[in-house]
Amino acid sequence: MRNGKIPPGTFSYGYDALPAEPSLLQGIAIPLTGDAVRRFVINADGSLSIKQVGPDNIGLYTCTIRVGTNEQSISAWLRIIEKPSMPQSVYVELLNETIPARVRVSWREGFDGNSPLIKHIVQMRTIGPTGLWSDWESVVDNVPSELCCSTLVG
C-alpha cells in the first residue's frame, strides 16, 4: 500500500490445482481464460503473464499463494525503461564575435525514459563551404545531469 491506496497492478490469487478464488487485479476479477481487454493471463503454473506491457501496467505486483491454511506472498515492481527523448526548447546564444566562437547551449530535458539520466551529450554540425551540412559531432560528451540544462561550447 502506498499513501493508503492499493498500488496499481496489485493482484492476489489463490493456488491449489486451480485458484481457490477469482484472481484479482486492482480489485477486478481475472477469469482463468485471461482478460484480453487488460491483457492479463494466469498460466497453468499459477504465474501471471501480461501481454503488450504498457505504462498502465507499471506498479507493484504481489502474488499471494494459499495452500490450505498456509499463505505466502512475494512482491515485485514492474518498471518500463525506454530510450530517453531528445531535449526540448534548445536555445543557442553566441557569447563572442571572434574566432573561435563560444556559445552557451540551453535546453529543457525531454522524457527521461523512466530512469534517471546520468549525463548529457552536446552534438553539433556546421554548414561547410559548399553549403552542405557536416556530419554530427560530439563537442561536449559529458555534461553531468546535475548541470542540466546549460553548457558552454567553444
Q: Give the tens place of pLDDT for each residue, 54-72.
A: 777 777 777 777 777 777 7
C-alpha 83 chain-centroid distance: 8
Q: Based on the number of CB atoms within 10 Å of its own CB, is 25 exposed (0-12), middle (13-18) or buried (19 or more)?
A: buried
- Residue 134 confidence (pLDDT): 93
Which has more confidence, 67 or 94?
94
Q: pLDDT for 26-60, tens place per residue? A: 555 555 555 555 677 777 666 778 788 877 777 77
pLDDT averaged over every residue in the chain: 74
Whole-structure pTM value: 0.51
- Residue 33 confidence (pLDDT): 53
Cell of residue 132, nine digits: 552542405
3-state SS, one letter per residue, for 6-17: CCCCCEECCCCC
Give me the amino acid identity at 19.
P
Average pLDDT estimate for 109-134 = 89
Number of other residues whose CB lies within 10 A of the CB of residue 57: 19
| C-beta of residue 119 within 8 angstroms of C-beta of residue 87 | no
| C-beta of residue 9 within 8 angstroms of C-beta of residue 78 | yes
Positive or negative, the CA dihedral 23, 28, 32, 37 is: negative
